[in-house]
Amino acid sequence: MSSPEEQAFRLLTEYSNGFMVSQVLFAACELGVFDLLAEAPEPLGAAAVAARLGTSSHGTELLLDTCVSLKLLQVETKTGKALYQNTELSSTYLVRASPKCQGNMLRYLARTTYLCWGHLTQAVRDGRNQYLEAFGVPSDQLFSAIYRSEDERLLFMRGLQDVWSVSGRPVLGAFDLSPFPLICDVGGDFFKDPLPEADLYLLARVLHDWTDERCSRLLARIRRACKPGGGVLVIESLLAADGRGPLTAQLYSLNMLVQTEGRERTPAQYRALLAAAGFRHVQCRRTGGLYDAILATR
Ligand code: ASE
């Protein structure tokens, strides 16, 4: 048994090294390690992986063995030779042929989100996103809100779809949606474009990108489009009532600070926004998953 002081140091070291773990995962995805191993008819040695990927033998071996320690790969030794293959985790979530592949989100996190997080200290000082600092582009000159290019916008959309393919179902089961036969998933330029007629408007991972003021404007537009008995289903990661958890929601709120104008919110904060927009009945449901649901009707 280690002393409490030693345990604390171990925890500290784990946190300090967290970014290295993210980068191992990002690099293995970017290089196509998991796809190569999934498509190979049998487990491959490090030299074969390096040859197929066009990477250095030393770097590849280190990366593969680190992936083994992270349970992203498994290794078996046959006649003195290490052979690598995917684990259940990587086969399910990291191989492009899998319907649950998170590859687009991981590439987006690696190429965009990670760079903004490099400026977290300054974001906390300033209280605003770090696009100018991370990319040298003022955020009002970005291609549509937060994207540097059309390619980046597409990667982000595909990334959100990746997460939805795993975490979407539980949220849609949180409420009985049978009173709402026609559902509109609100996206695109929703501050300007006319809203189509619907019984229920879905706002999934939208409000967390925006200031209270912009959320109020959007909710008021939806309230005006809503028929009596109609409503809005807000899908977000809810913060605890006191804002002090869960950790994932807190990290996402910091993510909104470094990348957007928004924040994650508590149930009371969503209630206030929805009530101010004229919605009468507001119900919050935690799912225990990545996303929670708030149903409001007029
Ligand atoms: C946004 C979502 C994200 C805006 C910027 C973002 C994410 C990274 N950067 O609406 C993804 C957040 N993670 C999940 C699981 O949604």
What 3-state class would DSSP assign to 232?
strand
Phi, psi of 76 (to 5 degrees): -130, 145
Binding site membership of 237 for ligand 1 (Cβ less than 6 Å): no
Binding site membership of 205 for ligand 1 (Cβ less than 6 Å): yes
Say what the pLDDT of residue 144 is: 59
Vertex 232, ends 188 and 283: CA angle to 5°? 140
Distances 49 to 101, 121, 139 between C-alpha atoms, Å? 21, 38, 40
What CATH number should be reported for the domain holding residue 221? 3.40.50.150
Q: Does any domain span residue 23?
A: yes
Q: What is the dihedral of CA 7, 9, 11, 13, to 10 degrees?
A: -150
Most informative mutation of 210, 234, 256, 265 for ligand 1 (most atoms within 8 A of CB)? 256
Q: How many domains does the chain have?
A: 2
**What pTM was computed for the model?**
0.94
Radius of gyration, alpha carbons of the chain: 22
| Sign of the torsion angle spanned by Cα atoms 242, 167, 260, 215 | negative
Q: Tell the residue nearest (CA) to atom 15 of ligand 1.
A: 163
Binding site membership of 255 for ligand 1 (Cβ less than 6 Å): yes
Q: Does any domain span residue 50?
A: yes
Q: Judge if 153 and 89 occupy the same domain.
A: no
Say what the pLDDT of residue 142 is: 65
Q: Judge if 121 and 262 occupy the same domain.
A: yes
Q: Judge if 115 and 82 occupy the same domain.
A: no
Q: How far apart are CA 246 and CA 241, in angstroms?
A: 10
Q: Judge if 19 and 54 occupy the same domain.
A: yes
Residue 248 Cα to ligand 1 midpoint, Å, equals 12
Most informative mutation of 100, 105, 171, 263 for ligand 1 (most atoms within 8 A of CB)? 105
What CATH number should be reported for the domain holding residue 35? 1.10.10.10
Q: Judge if 86 and 211 occupy the same domain.
A: no
Which residues are known to be catalytic?
208
Say what the pLDDT of residue 135 is: 85
The atom number, within ligand 1, closest to the CA of 109 reads 8
Q: Judge if 143 and 286 occupy the same domain.
A: yes
Residue 75 Cα to ligand 1 midpoint, Å, equals 33
With CA atoms as reference, report the closest residue to 290 among 233, 242, 243, 238.
238
Q: Judge if 19 and 51 occupy the same domain.
A: yes
Q: Does any domain span residue 98?
A: no
Quote the domain boundaries for residue 289: 103-297
Residue 82 Cα to ligand 1 midpoint, Å, equals 37
Residue 136 Cα to ligand 1 midpoint, Å, equals 21
Binding site membership of 152 for ligand 1 (Cβ less than 6 Å): no
Q: How far apart are CA 85 and CA 89, in angstroms?
A: 11
Say what the pLDDT of residue 230 is: 95
Q: Judge if 9 and 148 occupy the same domain.
A: no
Q: How far apart are CA 89 and CA 44, in angstroms?
A: 18
- What the block records as the tokens of 265 is 């919110």
**β-strands 81-86, 200-204: how paired?**
unpaired
Name every residue whose Cβ is closer than 8 Å to that of residue 204 and which is 6 or more positions away in sequence: 164, 171, 185, 233, 234, 235, 236, 291
Q: Judge if 271 and 130 occupy the same domain.
A: yes
Say what the pLDDT of residue 185 is: 96
Residue 12 Cα to ligand 1 midpoint, Å, equals 26
| Sign of the torsion angle spanned by Cα atoms 203, 205, 207, 209 | negative
Binding site membership of 167 for ligand 1 (Cβ less than 6 Å): no
Binding site membership of 260 for ligand 1 (Cβ less than 6 Å): yes
Q: Of 42, 62, 93, which closes a domain?
A: 93
Q: How far apart are CA 29 and CA 116, in angstroms?
A: 20
Q: Tell the residue nearest (CA) to atom 9 of ligand 1.
A: 113
| 259 C-beta neighbours (distance < 10 Å), count | 21
Q: Please list the alpha-helical segments (H only) found in the chain.
A: 4-16, 18-31, 33-39, 46-53, 57-69, 88-93, 103-108, 114-117, 120-126, 131-135, 150-172, 212-225, 247-259, 267-276
Tens of each residue's pLDDT in the chain, 298 residues: 799 999 999 999 999 999 999 999 999 999 999 999 999 999 999 999 999 999 999 999 999 999 999 999 999 999 999 999 999 999 999 999 999 999 999 999 999 999 999 999 999 999 988 888 888 877 777 665 678 889 999 999 999 999 999 999 889 999 999 999 999 999 989 999 999 999 999 999 999 999 999 999 999 999 999 998 999 999 999 999 999 999 999 999 999 999 999 999 999 999 999 999 999 899 999 999 999 999 999 8
